Structure 1
Amino acid sequence: MSVRLLGPLTVIRDGATVPLPASRKLRALFAYLALAPHAVGRSRLCELLWDVPNDPRGELRWCLSKLRGILDEPDRRRIETPGDTIALDLKGVSVDAIDIASAAAGGIETLDLQRLQALSGLFVGDFLDGLEIDRNPHFNGWLIAQRRRFRSWHAAILEHLVNKLPADADEMSAHLEKWVELAPFDGRAHVALLARLAQRGQIAACEEHLASAAKLFASEDLDFGPVREAWRTIRGERPAATLRARPAFVPAAPQASIVLPDSDVAASCKASLAIMPFVEEAAVGDPCGDLSRGGPSRGGLADGLTHDIITRLAKLRDFFVIARGSVFALSEKNIAPEDAGRRLNVDYVTTGTVRSQAGRVVVSVELVEVRTARIVWAETFERRPDDIFAILDDIGNSIVSSISAEIEMVERNRAMLKAPNSLNAWEAYHRGLWHMYRFTRTENGQARHFFDMALRLDPTFARAYAGLSFTHWQNAFQRWGDRDRESALAFEAAGQSLLVDDHNPAAHWAMGRALWLRGEQDGSLLELERAVDLSPNFALGHYALSFVHSQSGDPNAAIGSSDHSRHLSPFDPLLFGMLGARAMAHVRLGQFDEAAEWALKAAARPNAHAIILAIAAHCLALAGRIDDARTFAAAIRKTLPNYCADDFIATFRFEPDAAALFRQGAKRIGLG
C-alpha cells in the first residue's frame, strides 16, 4: 500500500487506486494523523476539524470507521486507539510526504543524485491539493504551514539537484523553471536559470527573463543589482558559462542578495541569520508542528522576545544577524519564514511562538537551515508566569545560547567535509574549532594551523585571533610547549583580537585567560567581566570567570558562574572545565563530597584531558574515596609517568590554603 499526500490525497493498494469517501473532513483527518509524530487526543481532533457540531465525537467515530475500511488489512489494524487518543500505524506503507520529511531531517545536502531525482518526482502537486475546509481556521492554519514546509523542501531539493546534474541534462531546464516558480525571490535560482539559457545561446530569452525578474524584485523593494551583475559576468564568460552559481555567505544588506559565480566576497564570509517575529498565540499548539494557529498578534510579549533575541545574538558577534526592521517588514507582508530566508539570502532562519496555556507560558522555537530546509534545532520552553519578564529573560538566554551553539556545530561539521585548500576564512576558523575541541597536543597544532589560515585570508577576523590565543593558552596550560613563550604568544594573539574588535566578547575572553597565565588575576577578572558585560549570553566568558574564581578568587562566585555557563550551554565542548571549576570551588569551601561528585561528572566527559582527571583524583582523595582516586591517578600515570602534586599545583594558581588541601589529597593516593 502507498499513500500520496502531495497532489490530491490518494491511496493505492496492489497497484489500484482505492476509492475514498467524498468527505473532506475524513481526508483531512487521515492526512493529519499520517503526519502526527505521536497519538492525538480525540478532543484535539474534534477541535481541529469540527466547527461546533452537535456531535463532534460521533462524526469522528464515523470518519474512523470509514478509514478502517480503507486502511485495515485482514491481519493488521492500522488505526490504533490507546486510551482517548488515536494514531495511525503506517509501518510498511509508502507515504510520499513522510519520505520527503525524513530525507530533509537527515540532510538534503547529503543525498546523491538518484535519491534527489526520486524525491523530486514525488512532488506532483501541492500538499493535499484542492483540500480546504470552510470556516475551519485551525485546520486551514495547519494546512498552510504544511504546504509552506513542503514547498520549501521542494525548492531545496531542486537547488541541490540542479547543482549535481550534468550541465547538459535534458531535465535541467524544467528543474530550473520549477525552482524559480517556487522561490521567485531567490537570486540564486534566477542566476542559475540565466546561466542555463546563456549556455544554450538563448540570449534574448535571458534578457526577457532579466526584465521580468527585475520588475518582480522591484515590486517587493528587493535589491536586484547582484542578479544583474551576475548576468553581466555570465554573458562576459560565454561560451564557458556554467550554471553553477556557487553558494556563499553574504554579510551584506538586509535585502535579497546573490553571490556572483566567481566573485571575491569578503574573505571571512560569516554565516547569516534571520530571527523572524515570534507569533503570540492563545491556543494550544498541535502535535504536527503547526506554528500558525490561533490568531497571531503584534506588539506584545512575542515581539519583545524577538527583539531581545536579535539584540543578544548581535552582541555575540558570531555571525551576521538581520536587523529587526527587515524581518518585521517581511512578516507584515505575511511572507512565510522559509520564503523570507531565501529573500534575505541568509543561511539560517529562526521562528517561534509564545502562548499562554493553563497558567504557563510556552515558547516553541525552530532553527532552520535555509538552503536545505532542514530543522537544525527545535525546542519548547515552559515556565509558570510568576514574573513574566524574568521568565522571558531566562527563555531568551536559553534560545540565544542554543542557536549560537547549534550553528557553530553545523558550521564546524560542514568545514570538516571540505578540502583544506578550498576553505575561506570562516570555514578555516570553524575547522580550527573542530580540532581545538579534541584537546590533544596533535589536534591543538592542527587547530593553530587553521586559525593561522583564517587570519591569512582575513587579518581582521577577531574570533580567529581569539582561537589562536586559545591554542597557545592550551600549550602553556597543558605543558605542551615552553610555558613562558606560549603565554606570551597567547597574550599577543589576544591583543590582536582586541585591536581588531574591542566589542567582541571573545577578544576580551582571550585576553582574560592570557592575563591569568601571566599571573595578573585582577586584570584577568576585569577582562572576563567585560566579556560578559558585552554579551551576557557568552557562556565561555562565564566559564572563564568560574575558572579564575575557583582557584584564588571567590569560590561561591565560581559556583554561580559555573552553573550559569552550563545553563547557557549545557552541551558545550568545554563542559568538563565548567564542572571541574565547580569541583575546585567546593574544595576551597571544605565541601569535599560535593567536590568529588562534580569532579566525577567532569572526568566522565568524552573529551576530558589529563588535568581534569587529576582534579577528579585529588577531589576524590579529599572525600575519602581512596580506591576511586587511585584509579584516576593510575590512568594519569599511563600517559604522564612522573605526574605528581607539584605538577598539579603548578598548573593552577591556587591560594596557599587551597594548595595545601590539594597536596593533602595527593599524599593519600601516592601523588605527593
Structure 2
Amino acid sequence: MSETRKLAAILAADVVGYSRLAGLDEARTLARLRALRSDLVDPTIAVHIGRVVKRTGDGTLVEFRSVVDAVRCAIEVQNAMLERNVGVPPDRRIEFRIGIHVGDVVEEGDGDLMGDGVNIAARLESIAEPNGICLSGAAYEQVRDKLKEQFADLGEKELKNIARPVRVYRVALDSDTATEPIVPDPSAGKLAAPDKPSIAVLPFQNMSGDPEQEYFGDGIAEDIITALSKLRGFFVIARNSTFAYKGKAPDIRQVARELNVRYVLEGSVRKAGERLRVTGQLIDAASGNHIWAERYDRPASDIFAVQDEITHSVVAAIEPQIYAAERLRLQSKAPESLDAWGCVVRAMPYIWTWVIQDEDTGISLLKRAIELDPHYARARSLLAWAFATRVISGNLEFEPGISSALALAQGAIDLDPDDPWAHFAAGYISAFSRRLGPAVEELNEALQRNPNFVFAHIILGVAYGYAGLADDGLRQLEIARRLSPLDQTQAANLSVEGLCHLVAGRYAEAVRAERRAVLMRPNFGTAWRTLTAAAGLAGDLETARQGLVECKRLQPNLSIEWVEKYHPLIRTEDRARYVEGLRRAGLE
C-alpha cells in the first residue's frame, strides 16, 4: 500500500461520557449523534473545506488544509452545541471535546492518516474540557494573529505516549451562550429593526402530558430554527431567546415586540397511542393574522424520521408564505420608495409567471435593485433566471441571452457563494443549455445550502428529464411535492412531470400532466410546447393542433429549425421524437 508524508492540520473530536449516555438510552443517543453530524458537524466541516478521515464510534478525525480553518470549524461547532444544550438536563447533554494540532502525518493509500500529527491531536482532545477546544503550541502559532478569539496558555503538558511535553492552549469560547436564557426586558430599549423578514420560532407545546414528547417538540423547533437560519433572506432569532418562553403562554404580539420580529411560528405536539400529531402556524404579529397553518399526522414508529420530515415540510412551506406576506406589505409602496430588498420581493411574483409582460415588470424591479445595491447577489440571481426563461421561451436571442444570464449568475456566486439562489440560477441556465454535468453540480450546491429549496428540486428534475433520465427527474419532483404540495411551483412541477413522461414514451400521461400545467398557467409557453408534442405523439391531433395555436401565440418564431437548434433535450433521439410530435401538430 502506497504512503505519502505531508504536513496537515488535524482535528480530533469525541463525545464526553458517551458510554454513560449510551447506557441511559443507546438508541436515542445514536439517533441524536447522527442528527448532529448530518445537521451541524458535517456541513460545518464542509464549509471550512475539511475532510473526514474516519469515524470511530463517537470519535471523528478530520484533516484541514489550514489550522485557521480547523479552529474556525471547531469554534462554530462548539458554540452551536452550547446553544443546543440550553434547557437540556446536564446528564442528557451531548458535548464534544476537540483537540487540534498541525504536524507531519503519513497518508496511506486508503486515505487514512497516521503518525505523531494525529496522535498529538487525539491526546489534546482527551485533556480538553467538555465543550472545550485545546490547541498545540504549533497550531496556536498559526492562528494567534489571525483570529479574534482569546486563547489561554495552559503551559506544557505531558501527553500519553508522546515523547516530549507539548505546549497547550485553550480557546476561550463565549461562555455567555451556555447560560440559561433570560426573557428580554422590554423596558431595556428597542432593538434595531432587521433589514429583512424576521421570524421567531417558539418551542412547540407538548399537549400529550408525556414528558418524553418534550424532547420531540423541542427538537422540531430547534431543527426549524437551524434550517431557517440557512435561508439568506431571513433574520432568525436564536434558540436561546425563543426558548426563554418555554412553558409559558405568551401573547404573540408581546413576543414580537420583545424580540423585534414580524413573524412568529408556534406549534404543538400530541401523541396518542402509536400516532403523532404536530401542528404549526405562522402568524404576522403586526396584524395578528394567521398566514399559514398545517397539521401533520404521522406514525410514531420512527420518531426521528418524523421529526426530519416535518421540519423539511414546515420550512419549505413557510418560506414562500413569508415572501408572499412581504409582497402584500410592500405592494402599496411606490417603486421609487423601495429599497433593494423591497424591489426583489415585489419582482418575485412576476418572475415565476412565464408571462412576458409580467417579466418586463419583474426585470425592471430587479435592475432597480441592482442599481440600489450593486452587491446584492439575490437580485442578480433572479435577473439571470428571468433572462434564461426568456431564452427558453423563444423571446430572447439564444447566444446573447444565455451569455448575459450566465454572467449574472456567476456574478451572484462571486458576491455570495453561500446563497443557494446563486447556484440555483447557474444550474437552471446550464440545464437549458444542454449541459447536464454543470447543471446537476450547481443545483446540488444549492440544495446543500438549503435542502428544502423546492424549486431547486424541480429544476434538477427538468435537468434529468432533458438528459433522458426520466425516473431520476420524477424522483426529484416527488421530493418537491412532499416538501411543498401547494405553492407557486405547482405548474412547473406538472410541466416537468409531463416532459419526463414524454421522454419515457408515456405520451398520454405527458398530455395529462401538461394539460393541468397550462390550466394553472395559461401563458406557460414551454408547457404548451410539450403538450403539443406529446399530443402529436399520442395521436391526439385535435389537442396537438389546438396546442400549436397557443404555442405560436406565445412564441411567434417557433419552428422546427428553432426546436432542433435550441431545445434543451440533450439526446438526439429524444429531440427527434419531440420534433415529430410537433410536426404532426402542423409545425413547419
- Which one of 565, 583, 586 corresponds to residue 667 of structure 1? 583
> Which amino acid counterpart does residue 201 of structure 2 have in structure 1?
I
| 638-647 vs 543-552, which moves further | 638-647
Q: Unaligned stretches of 5+ in structure 2?
A: 1-181
Deviations 1:98-123 (CA, angstroms, capped at 9, x unpaired): xxxxxxxxxxxxxxxxxxxxxxxxxx
> Which amino acid counterpart does residue 467 of structure 2 have in structure 1?
S
Q: Please give the TM-score of this superposition, normalised by the length of structure 1.
A: 0.57
Q: CA deviation at 1:657?
A: 1.5
Structure 1 match to 2:526:
611
1:482 correspondence with 2:397: yes
Q: CA deviation at 1:400?
A: 0.8
Q: Distance in 2 between matches of 1:553 and 1:665?
A: 17
| 386-395 vs 653-662, which moves further | 386-395
Q: Distance in 1 between matches of 2:543 and 2:335?
A: 43
Q: Distance in 1 between matches of 2:363 and 2:379?
A: 10
> Which amino acid counterpart does residue 489 of structure 2 have in structure 1?
L
- Which one of 275, 278, 283 corresponds to residue 204 of structure 2? 278
Q: Distance in 2 between matches of 1:608 and 1:654?
A: 25
1:468 correspondence with 2:383: yes
Structure 2 match to 1:427:
342
Paired residues for 1:269-418 under 5 Å: 269-282=195-208, 299-331=214-246, 335-418=250-333
Deviations 1:454-498 (CA, angstroms, capped at 9, x unpaired): 223333332222111112212222232222112111111111211
| 517-526 vs 367-376, which moves further | 517-526
Deviations 1:538-574 (CA, angstroms, capped at 9, x unpaired): 0111011011110115221101111222332323323
| 476-485 vs 406-415, which moves further | 476-485
Structure 2 match to 1:557:
472
> Which amino acid counterpart does residue 409 of structure 1 have in structure 2?
A
Q: Secondary structure at the match of 2:271?
A: strand
The percent identity for this pair of structures is 28
- Which one of 470, 482, 496 corresponds to residue 411 of structure 2? 496
> Which amino acid counterpart does residue 530 of structure 1 have in structure 2?
E
Q: CA deviation at 1:407?
A: 0.7
Q: CA deviation at 1:412?
A: 1.9
Kindly indicate whether the alpha-carbon contact (under 8 Å) linking 1:602 and 1:608 is maintained by their aligned counterparts in 2: no
CA 1:607 to 1:224, structure 2 compared with 1: closer, same or farther past 3 Å? farther
Q: Distance in 2 between matches of 1:303 and 1:640?
A: 52
Q: Secondary structure at the match of 1:361?
A: strand
Q: Distance in 1 between matches of 2:266 and 2:211?
A: 13
1:459 correspondence with 2:385: no
> Which amino acid counterpart does residue 520 of structure 1 have in structure 2?
R
Q: Distance in 1 between matches of 2:349 and 2:189?
A: 33
Q: Distance in 2 between matches of 1:570 and 1:625?
A: 30
Kindly indicate whether the alpha-carbon contact (under 8 Å) linking 1:576 and 1:601 is maintained by their aligned counterparts in 2: yes
Q: Distance in 1 between matches of 2:554 and 2:391?
A: 18
> Which amino acid counterpart does residue 343 of structure 1 have in structure 2?
E
> Which amino acid counterpart does residue 281 of structure 1 have in structure 2?
M
Q: CA deviation at 1:448?
A: 1.6
Q: CA deviation at 1:321?
A: 1.0
1:544 correspondence with 2:470: no
> Which amino acid counterpart does residue 461 of structure 1 have in structure 2?
Y
Q: CA deviation at 1:614?
A: 1.1
Q: Distance in 1 between matches of 2:567 and 2:186?
A: 56
Structure 2 match to 1:623:
538
Query: Aligned residue pairs: how many?
Result: 407
- Which one of 425, 439, 446 corresponds to residue 531 of structure 1? 446
Structure 1 match to 2:568:
652
Kindly indicate whether the alpha-carbon contact (under 8 Å) linking 1:316 and 1:537 is maintained by their aligned counterparts in 2: no
Paired residues for 1:12-161 under 5 Å: none
Q: Secondary structure at the match of 2:570?
A: coil
Q: CA deviation at 1:334?
A: 5.5
Q: Distance in 2 between matches of 1:454 and 1:658?
A: 40
Q: CA deviation at 1:622?
A: 1.8
Deviations 1:335-356 (CA, angstroms, capped at 9, x unpaired): 4443212211101000000111
Deviations 1:388-421 (CA, angstroms, capped at 9, x unpaired): 2222222222111111011111112222221111
> Which amino acid counterpart does residue 484 of structure 1 have in structure 2?
E
Q: CA deviation at 1:427?
A: 1.1
Structure 1 match to 2:133:
none
Q: Distance in 2 between matches of 1:553 and 1:270?
A: 41
Q: CA deviation at 1:519?
A: 3.9
Kindly indicate whether the alpha-carbon contact (under 8 Å) linking 1:542 and 1:562 is maintained by their aligned counterparts in 2: yes
Structure 1 match to 2:77:
none
Deviations 1:352-400 (CA, angstroms, capped at 9, x unpaired): 0011135321111110001111111111111222322222222222111
The structure number with the bigger radius of gyration is 1
Q: Distance in 2 between matches of 1:358 and 1:220?
A: 35
| 300-309 vs 573-582, which moves further | 573-582
Deviations 1:130-182 (CA, angstroms, capped at 9, x unpaired): xxxxxxxxxxxxxxxxxxxxxxxxxxxxxxxxxxxxxxxxxxxxxxxxxxxxx
Q: Secondary structure at the match of 2:348?
A: helix
Q: CA deviation at 1:583?
A: 1.3
CA 1:598 to 1:224, structure 2 compared with 1: closer, same or farther past 3 Å? same
Kindly indicate whether the alpha-carbon contact (under 8 Å) linking 1:279 and 1:297 is maintained by their aligned counterparts in 2: no
Kindly indicate whether the alpha-carbon contact (under 8 Å) linking 1:592 and 1:622 is maintained by their aligned counterparts in 2: yes
Q: Secondary structure at the match of 2:246?
A: helix
CA 1:339 to 1:295, structure 2 compared with 1: closer, same or farther past 3 Å? farther
| 534-543 vs 614-623, which moves further | 614-623
| 587-596 vs 613-622, which moves further | 587-596
CA 1:634 to 1:517, structure 2 compared with 1: closer, same or farther past 3 Å? closer
Q: Secondary structure at the match of 1:550?
A: helix
Q: CA deviation at 1:327?
A: 0.6
Q: Unaligned stretches of 5+ in structure 1?
A: 1-218, 228-256, 260-265, 283-293
Q: Secondary structure at the match of 1:570?
A: coil
Q: Secondary structure at the match of 1:316?
A: coil
Q: Distance in 1 between matches of 2:497 and 2:287?
A: 40
Kindly indicate whether the alpha-carbon contact (under 8 Å) linking 2:536 and 2:582 is maintained by their aligned counterparts in 1: yes
Q: Distance in 2 between matches of 1:452 and 1:495?
A: 16
CA 1:670 to 1:325, structure 2 compared with 1: closer, same or farther past 3 Å? same
Q: CA deviation at 1:437?
A: 2.7
Q: Distance in 2 between matches of 1:407 and 1:619?
A: 37
Q: CA deviation at 1:326?
A: 1.2
Q: Please give the TM-score of this superposition, normalised by the length of structure 2.
A: 0.65
Q: Distance in 2 between matches of 1:375 and 1:516?
A: 38
> Which amino acid counterpart does residue 465 of structure 1 have in structure 2?
R
> Which amino acid counterpart does residue 490 of structure 1 have in structure 2?
A
CA 1:460 to 1:325, structure 2 compared with 1: closer, same or farther past 3 Å? farther
Q: Distance in 2 between matches of 1:442 and 1:635?
A: 16
Q: Distance in 1 between matches of 2:446 and 2:527?
A: 25
